[in-house]
Amino acid sequence: MNSVSVIKTITKRELSGYFASPVAYVFIVIFLLLAGFFTFMAGGFFERNEASLMSFFLWHPWLYLFLVPAVGMRLWSEERRLGTMELLLTMPITPWQAIVGKFLASWLFLALALALTFPVWLTVSYLGSPDHGVVFTSYLGSLLLAGAYLAISCMTSAMTRNQVVSFILSVVVALFLILAGWPPVTKLLDQISENPRLVETVAAFSVMTHFEGFQKGSLDLRDIVFFAAIIGFSLFTTSIIIRSHRAG
């Protein structure tokens, strides 16, 4: 079997594994309820008096902060806890194929949960005339954001067989990537430091800074590269960790 076929097989197996238990359905329901609450209640959707999904996407970096690590914490921790990682790695597949297959399965699951928020889009379309181009780029940015958080969770999951530890580590890393560009933090840094370039450098490592571009309807290559770099670096680190377990 070629690499694509192997990855496809692993992806199908992992994705079907999510729906083999009620956990996946519970996650989707919780995600949809929280997304609706933050959009229409906490986000001040009706107070804005504008046909846009700004209040919907505004909360995604914070919403994903806990929900995405909850999905990714079991990716490798479960394999290590059950002792099936060694069995998986002795099969005629490379660590990269296993990593990419597992990551894609979880990312597709998150994409499905995100796609199920379409009633929010329909509601806005019914109430007004939103810019569908902006909505599309916002959804794309949200998917890349979820992928970045998931790749980080994949990395932390490979570090430990304890899912709770994996969850906490990924939340801490993701929180740093949020706070680095969060307006209150950048204002504080601006007051402390007299070097504006330092503040810009710190903000450049934030998911908030790069996600804002998508929310404005801009497809900036730098923003896409940023999220792709986080995913690539995290998965590469995951492969190093897994290879070290394999060598051990």
Q: Is the pLDDT of residue 186 over 80?
A: no
Q: d(Cα 239, Cα 41) in Å, to the nearest integer?
A: 42
Would you state the torsion angle of the CA atoms of residues 175, 181, 183, 184, taken in this order, to the nearest 10 degrees?
A: 50
Prediction pTM value: 0.88
What does 147-172 look like in DSSP terms, one character per residue?
Answer: HHHHHHHHHHHHH-S-HHHHHHHHHH
Predicted local confidence at residue 74, as pLDDT: 82
Residue bearing the bigger pLDDT, 89 or 104: 104
pLDDT digits (tens, 9 = 90+) for 123-181: 888 877 878 888 899 999 999 999 999 999 999 998 888 888 899 999 999 998 888 87
Is the separation of the CB atoms in 172 and 164 below 8 Å?
A: no
pLDDT digits (tens, 9 = 90+) for 37-89: 888 776 666 666 666 788 888 889 899 999 999 988 888 777 776 666 666 66
Q: d(Cα 31, Cα 166) in Å, to the nearest integer?
A: 20
Predicted local confidence at residue 50, as pLDDT: 67
Decide: residue 200, CB within 10 A, 0-12 exposed, 13-18 middle, 19+ buried: middle
Predicted local confidence at residue 124, as pLDDT: 82
Question: Whose CA is closest to 146, among 118, 176, 107?
Answer: 107
Question: Whose CA is closest to 131, among 146, 121, 117?
Answer: 121
Q: d(Cα 17, Cα 205) in Å, to the nearest integer?
A: 34
Is the separation of the CB atoms in 176 and 98 below 8 Å?
A: no
Q: d(Cα 145, Cα 59) in Å, to the nearest integer?
A: 12
Q: d(Cα 215, Cα 140) in Å, to the nearest integer?
A: 9
